[in-house]
Structure 1
Amino acid sequence: MFASALGAMVSLAVLAVGVALVPVGGAGLVLMPRMMAVLHRWTEWQRAQAGAVLGVDVPARPAPPAPAGVREQWRQLLMGTRARRDLRWTALHVVVGLPAALAALTVAGLLVNPVLEAPLWWLFPADEPLRLLVAVPVTGWRQAIGMGVAQVVLAAPLAWWALPRLARLHARACLAALAPSEADRLAERVGELTESRSNVLDAHAAELRRIERDLHDGTQARLVAIAMRLAMAREALDDDGGPVGRLLKDAHEGTEEAMTELRQVIRTMYPPVLADRGLAGAVAAVTAKAGLPVETDVSGLGAVPAAVETAAYFIVAEAVTNATKHSGAGHVTVRLASGRVLRIEVCDDGRGGVDESRGTGVTGIRRRAAALDGTLSIVSPPGGPTRLVVELPCAS
């Protein structure tokens, strides 16, 4: 307890040095996140020790992996609650832990000192003799043995009563300082749910890609082979062919229709162009088929998660389709840029006056964005122009 309290004091001093080094060539900017990571590991060890003292199960709370880059590390440090709890415990440990440790050392000293000092009473100066039982001077062996035994007998119950209580007081203070508040618990739970939803969406996107690939490479290829065989069988018959010829014709046409429907299902489920050419290429393919001039800017587009990529493709496709069919626009601009969020901006010079309640397709875009914790804003005054902006988080 005493050693950890001294360690807390040293930690506060070291952290103060780290803060002071922030303006000195930026050294503190690099050191502080690492110092806080070390402090968190120490506080987690203290939590485990406190739980063992109180006999309660304390689940470990390991720190999340440090992001790349000093800016992101500081953002994690300042926005999270973990660092504030660790600093709160360190300060409280100095205020509460140090006095409790000194009290424990005093009680332990009353028990141990007679055992160590009583046999050495004769080494003390005559004018400053050894004193046992707080103030009684020791001048002979009889006093040394008698009062030493008496002090041990009196101090033992005090130590038995006080030391465990001081340890539990320190442990409870430790757990209370490091326990997250209700707001912290809610924020952590929201973060966990956001991360789990992101993982589910990524798994769902991966499963859609697998199904699309299986349908494209398996089912569709078999339908193509069947259609080719039916076509060859039709050609092998006479011009009339009779009932068999008509059956083959119906089967051949039905197979062609099934392939057309299957391709449509594959495109709406997970567009093959997205898997083949990425989001930038898929957006270029959508705008090329728009039926009116579309200017595309994807220069700021980087890598984005698969679920976000899929949602962005369908959002762009829906927005461009709306502009083509309903706005009367002569020109559309599509811009995509990514960082911590993927920003999609679609502008047209049409008549404006977009109304979500009239089934303009904006409701579907809003739902796709909301599924990823994204936002949609649309400005469409009567007479135009219309500007639609969607932002989709790219990191949990």
Structure 2
Amino acid sequence: MRLWREVRYLLVVLPASIATLVFLPLLAAGLVSTGVGGLGLVVVPRMMTALRRWAEWHRRRAASLLGVMISEREARLPKGLRAQWRRVTDDPEYRRDLRWTLRNIATGVPAGLAALTVIGLVVTPVVEAPLWWLFPAEDPLRLFVVVPVTGWAGAFWLGAAQVAMAVPLTWWAVPRLARLHARGCLSALEPSPAERLAERVGELTESRAGVLDAHDAELRRIERDLHDGTQARLVAIALRLGVAREALPEDAGLLAQLLREAHEGTEEAMAELREVIRTMYPPILADRGLPGALTAVAARAGVPVEVTLDGLGHIPAAVEAASYFIVAESVTNITKHSGAARATVRLTRRDDTLVIEITDDGRGGIDESRGTGVMGIRKRTAAFDGVVRVHSPVGGPTAITVELPCAS
């Protein structure tokens, strides 16, 4: 019977909430022992794990009452005290457990007492009314809390009247109390909409980083295949065609013309293939790394470019490639459009962010609405949730700052 499930739920909630109340001073004692004797370093993480299991038991009961599906939360500690404390302090689930503890005490005890009172209004006349004569005359049985029972007629009619009034009250109040408490339990242990959004953003960020890494690895594989396979075959074909042209007599006529066109077409295809390979994943980046690749970009520029790299450490390959293309595009723009006499490129690492600063002393006045190369930089940066800031007043100088997340 559904009402019985709700009655049983509330009757268990009352002693369980009182037991939860005991946990708070125990946890406080564990925290104090951390500074006094160090015992809390071992005890507190295990107390929090025990609280997690206790909260999960309540959470399963609440979900069962409401008929909703929930996912199990992990209740195991990692190995090592440092890892255990990091888990306890960094995991938002433990903060939700503490939040639930306070809420369970604040709502469970009143809900349990209210349910016990309402149920008592039904049980009391059924059990005690027939035994009214056992009560002393100076302290008789009282129904409706205040009306004394002094005879069988009063016991029967007053008991029947109290049951008739208490049963509908129980039928109405107990399910609402049980469901209200169950919903409060689940809401305290479930992440808020803002927390769900933050967790989802974190998951998407992590999955996107994996996709970018996989995409980068695939581009490198294709670049190697094209460079070592297709391009090598084209070179061999071009060489054979060149040898064939040299071997033909000058009066070969149409055959000589066809060989010449085939040879020139092969060389054009090789040039286009090299350009495709360079734009997919620059071979120089794979061969010389980011410092060597940026130095090469600066050496090929039409203006003097000073490159400074400051404590970059390990940078994911996808971010390295994006950094190379951003710097190459910026230096190309400076050479073609700025009229600058010199430029500087500086890459620094700030925690988990790679900062690229590109400045020049040119005429400035960048107008992104006209389709400048800055739009390409912004699109490439947006793939990493990066930030691009452009400061380019008319008359210069121009400064472009790009921030790329590079946590590996």
TM-score, with normalisation over the residues of structure 1?
Answer: 0.71
Q: Distance in 2 between matches of 1:208 and 1:179?
A: 41
Q: CA deviation at 1:207?
A: 2.7
SS state at 1:298 partner:
strand
- Cα RMSD (Å): 5.2
State the Cα deviation string for residues 124-152 of structure 1 (Å, max 9, x = none).
Answer: xxxxxxxxx9xxxxxxxxxxxxxxxxxxx
SS state at 1:378 partner:
strand
Contact conserved, 1:336 with 1:342, CA < 8 A, in 2? yes
State the Cα deviation string for residues 6-27 of structure 1 (Å, max 9, x = none).
Answer: 5643553455467768999999
Correspondence 1:44-59 to 2 at 5 A: 44=56, 46-59=58-71
Q: Which residue of 1 aligns with 2:397?
A: 385
Q: Distance in 1 between matches of 2:195 and 2:346?
A: 37
Q: Distance in 1 between matches of 2:394 and 2:212?
A: 37
SS state at 1:296 partner:
strand
**Distance 1:10-1:318 versus aligned 2 partners, 3 A rule:** farther
Q: Which residue of 1 aligns with 2:298?
A: 287
Contact conserved, 2:88 with 2:94, CA < 8 A, in 1? no
**Distance 1:31-1:278 versus aligned 2 partners, 3 A rule:** farther
What letter is aligned with 1:261?
E
Q: CA deviation at 1:350?
A: 2.4
What 5-or-longer segments of structure 2 have no aligned partner? 1-12, 121-142, 144-162
SS state at 1:301 partner:
coil
Q: CA deviation at 1:346?
A: 1.0
The structure 2 residue matched to 1:89, chosen from 53, 78, 100, is 100
Q: Distance in 2 between matches of 1:334 and 1:304?
A: 17
Pairing 1:343–2:355 present? yes
Q: Distance in 2 between matches of 1:26 and 1:294?
A: 58
SS state at 1:347 partner:
strand
Q: CA deviation at 1:254?
A: 1.0
What letter is aligned with 2:261?
D
**Distance 1:336-1:243 versus aligned 2 partners, 3 A rule:** same
Taking only the aligned residue pairs, the percentage that are identical comes to 63
**Distance 1:72-1:366 versus aligned 2 partners, 3 A rule:** farther
What letter is aligned with 1:86?
D
Contact conserved, 2:45 with 2:85, CA < 8 A, in 1? no
Q: Distance in 2 between matches of 1:38 and 1:283?
A: 55
**For this pair of structures, how many residues does the alignment match?**
374
Correspondence 1:38-117 to 2 at 5 A: 43-44=55-56, 46-60=58-72, 76=90, 82=93, 84-100=95-111
Q: Which residue of 2 aligns with 1:327?
A: 338
What letter is aligned with 1:204?
H
Q: CA deviation at 1:98?
A: 4.0
Correspondence 1:1-396 to 2 at 5 A: 1=13, 4-5=16-17, 8-13=20-25, 16=28, 43-44=55-56, 46-60=58-72, 76=90, 82=93, 84-100=95-111, 168=179, 170-338=181-349, 339-395=351-407
Q: Distance in 1 between matches of 2:49 and 2:298?
A: 48
Q: Which residue of 2 aligns with 1:120?
A: none
Q: Distance in 1 between matches of 2:380 and 2:18?
A: 54
Q: Distance in 2 between matches of 1:326 and 1:210?
A: 35
